[in-house]
Amino acid sequence: MKSFINVEDLGPLDKAMAEAFEIKNDRFKYQHLGKNKTLMMIFFNNSLRTRLSTQKAAMNLGMNVIVLDVNAGAWKLETERGVIMDGDKSEHLLEAIPVMGCYCDLIGVRSFAGLTDREYDYAETVLQQFIKYSGRPVFAMETATVHPLQAFADLITIEEHKVVERPKVVLTWAPHCRALPQAVPNSFAQWMNAAPDVDLVITHPEGYELDPKFVGNAVVEYDQKKAFEGADFIYAKNWSNPGVTNPADYGKITSKDMSWTVDTEHMSWTNNGKFMHCLPVRRNLIVTDDVIESPNSLVIPEAANREISCSVVIKRMLEAL
C-alpha cells in the first residue's frame, strides 16, 4: 500500500477488519516488520490521539519514530507554488518534503483544511505534494478532507459493540463555537457506506450537506428526531458549512442551533443507542455531560481503537516496502 487516504486503499474491508482483530489479540505479532525502519509523523496541526496512537502502533511494529511539529521549531513552510517568498516563510514545502523523505521509510501527515478555498482544500494539495515528492509511502493522519484512521477505528468499535447484525448508524451534526473541517464526517460517511452491514443516516441543518461523493447511498434526514428514532449508534460531530449548496458559505458557521446538542432526551429517541465522538469534544455544545459519561458512551474504546486501525495501516505499508 503506497498511500492511505480512502477506504478503497485497504482493499477488501472484511480482510482489513480480520487483520484489525488479529492485531488487537496480539499487538506485537508483527514486531519484526518494522526493525530498522523509521516512521516520520509530520504535524501541521495539533493532536492528542493521533500523535499517541500512531506512535504506539509504530512502536508495536518495531519501528523508530520521528515526530515533527512544523509550527514548533521547524522553518515556517510555504505550501503554494509561484509565491515570492519575501514574507515570514523561510522554506518551501517542495524542498522540505524530499528532505524529510531522506530520513524515513514511511510518512504520516496531518494537515487540516484552511476552510477559505474549497477547491484547494478538496484537491488535498498538501497531502498530494507529500505523495508526489517524498518518495515514501504516505498515510493521512487527518488531512483537509479525510480522517481515515479515525473512521477505520470507528468501524472496528461499531463491530465490537453492535447487538444487531445490521445496525442503524446516525451521523449527526451538532453545534460548535469554531469553524471545523469536514474531514471526520466525510470519512465516517465513506467508511460506513463501504461497510456491508450498516444502515447510515446523516442528519444536519439544511445547508450543511456534505460532498455527495462521501454521502454516497446514505439517507439524509433534516429532522434530527426522525433520524434518531431506532438508532443503534449516534455519531456526533460538528462540521463547518461544506459549501455544497452555496459555495459562498464554504468553511463558515451558518448555524449554532443548540437544539442539535445531543442530550439524554435525544438519546431516549434511539434503540438504547451507543454514543460516539472522535474527540476532542466540547461538552455541552456537541454533547451533554450526562450523555458522554453514560454507560452507552463509547468515546474511550473508540479512541483506544485508533492504535489498532493504525497498526493495520502501518503493517500493510511495511509489508509493501
DSSP string, 165-196: SS-EEEEEE---SS---SHHHHHHHHHHHHST
Q: Answer left, alpha or beta for residue 277, where phi above 0 means left and psi between -120 and 50 means alpha.
A: beta
Whole-angstrom distance, CA of residue 315 vs CA of residue 60: 10
Q: Is 64 in the site for ligand CP (CB under 6 A)?
A: no
Q: Is 17 in the site for ligand CP (CB under 6 A)?
A: no
Site for ligand CP in 86-145 (CB under 6 A): 142
306 is in an annotated binding site: yes
210 is in an annotated binding site: no
Site for ligand CP in 145-184 (CB under 6 A): 150
At its nearest, how many Å lie between ligand CP and the CB of residue 161? 18
The residue range among 93-101, 117-125, 187-195, 276-284 that interacts with ligand CP, by the rule CB under 6 A, is 276-284
At its nearest, how many Å lie between ligand CP and the CB of residue 72? 16
50 is in an annotated binding site: yes
Site for ligand CP in 228-257 (CB under 6 A): none
The residue range among 131-139, 229-237, 255-263, 275-283 that interacts with ligand CP, by the rule CB under 6 A, is 275-283
Site for ligand CP in 210-229 (CB under 6 A): none
Whole-angstrom distance, CA of residue 139 vs CA of residue 310: 10
Q: Is 278 in the site for ligand CP (CB under 6 A)?
A: yes
Confirm if 182 and 250 have CB atoms less than 8 A apart. no
Confirm if 63 and 127 have CB atoms less than 8 A apart. no
Closest to ligand CP by CB, 189 or 278: 278
At its nearest, how many Å lie between ligand CP and the CB of residue 67? 13
38: nearest Cα among 108, 134, 104: 104
282 is in an annotated binding site: yes
110 is in an annotated binding site: yes
Alpha helices by DSSP H, listed for 1-124, are: 13-25, 49-60, 93-102, 118-122
Whole-angstrom distance, CA of residue 305 vs CA of residue 307: 5
Closest to ligand CP by CB, 129 or 150: 150
Provide the 10 A C-beta neighbour count for residue 137: 21
237 is in an annotated binding site: yes
Judged by DSSP in three states, 119 sits in helix
Length of the chain in terms of residues written: 321
22: nearest Cα among 63, 60, 62: 60
176 is in an annotated binding site: yes
The residue range among 165-173, 194-202, 234-242, 272-280 that interacts with ligand CP, by the rule CB under 6 A, is 272-280
Q: Is 48 in the site for ligand CP (CB under 6 A)?
A: yes
Q: Is 49 in the site for ligand CP (CB under 6 A)?
A: yes
Considering only 279, 281, 285, 304, the residue that binds ligand CP (CB under 6 A) is: 279
Q: Is 47 in the site for ligand CP (CB under 6 A)?
A: yes
Q: Is 78 in the site for ligand CP (CB under 6 A)?
A: no
For 44, phi then psi, to 5°, come to -90, -10
256 is in an annotated binding site: no
Q: Is 67 in the site for ligand CP (CB under 6 A)?
A: no
Whole-angstrom distance, CA of residue 2 vs CA of residue 128: 12
149 is in an annotated binding site: yes
Q: How far is CA 109 from CA 77, 136, 140, 149, 315, in A?
A: 14, 12, 5, 12, 17
Closest to ligand CP by CB, 39 or 168: 39
Binding region for carbamoyl phosphate: 47-50, 75, 110, 147-150, 278-279, 306
Site residues (CB under 6 A) for ligand CP?
A: 47-50, 142, 150, 278-280
